[in-house]
Chain A
Amino acid sequence: SQQGEEDPQALSIQEGENATMNCSYKTSINNLQWYRQNSGRGLVHLILIRSNEREKHSGRLRVTLDTSKKSSSLLITASRAADTASYFCATDAAQGSARQLTFGSGTQLTVLP
């Protein structure tokens, strides 16, 4: 079963708008990561937030983490057509087999020019 589930499954916005994607998970985590996947390519790491952090920024990306609600959000500000991709959250569980990530099913973001 998947640890993380993204919402919405698909999102279409105009260039310049902000895009928000959400991720919910089930068990305690060490950290939560966001990845991007362009069509036909491998995943690329975007940002990591540790379980003791509440917010993190990287360029146009802002990630929040609420461990009490077991949820995270990824905000992309001032979106560009090049941001069109699938976005996945991945959790590093606090227990169990070491060094495994469990991925959600992703949000497909389309940024219209």
Chain B
Amino acid sequence: DAGITQSPRHKVTETGTPVTLRCHQTENHRYMYWYRQDPGHGLRLIHYSYGVKDTDKGEVSDGYSVSRSKTEDFLLTLESATSSQTSVYFCAISQGWDSYNEQFFGPGTRLTVL
């Protein structure tokens, strides 16, 4: 596996509480991504980062914010969790120095919002 870790791996929380998921990489890759995976939807991009403090929205960004203060860390925050945000969240990285954009995925975080 590429040097990508996600924490926590599992979390159960209640509606309305804030939640932060962390993605940490040791590969010094420029690009980092947050996806959510739901049955029947494949992976959908939430936010991505193309450098420290450089982020942009993906397809399903509403209700989520991100921050990247260091190359190795990319945080995903749910300011006020809702049941519709129950999902499996994956972080991915890529070098992005050419057009190939192969992505390497972390192990995922299973989030349940009650």
Q: Interface residues, chain A, CB within 8 Å of chain B?
A: 2, 30-31, 33, 40-45, 48, 50, 88, 90, 92, 97-106
Contact = CB atoms under 8 A, between A and B. Distances in A.
A68 to B, nearest CB: 21
Interface string B39-50: 011111100101
A99 B94 contact: yes
Given A41-B108, A42-B90, A42-B108, A101 B42 contact: no
Contacts of B104: 45
A105 B38 CA distance: 9
A2 B43 CA distance: 9
Q: How large is the interface on B (under 10, 10 to 19, 20 to 34, 35 or more residues)?
A: 20 to 34
Contacts of A100: 33, 45, 48, 58
Interface of B: 1, 4, 31, 33, 35, 40-45, 48, 50, 56, 58-59, 90, 92, 94, 96, 99-108
Given A92-B99, A99-B94, A104 B42 contact: yes
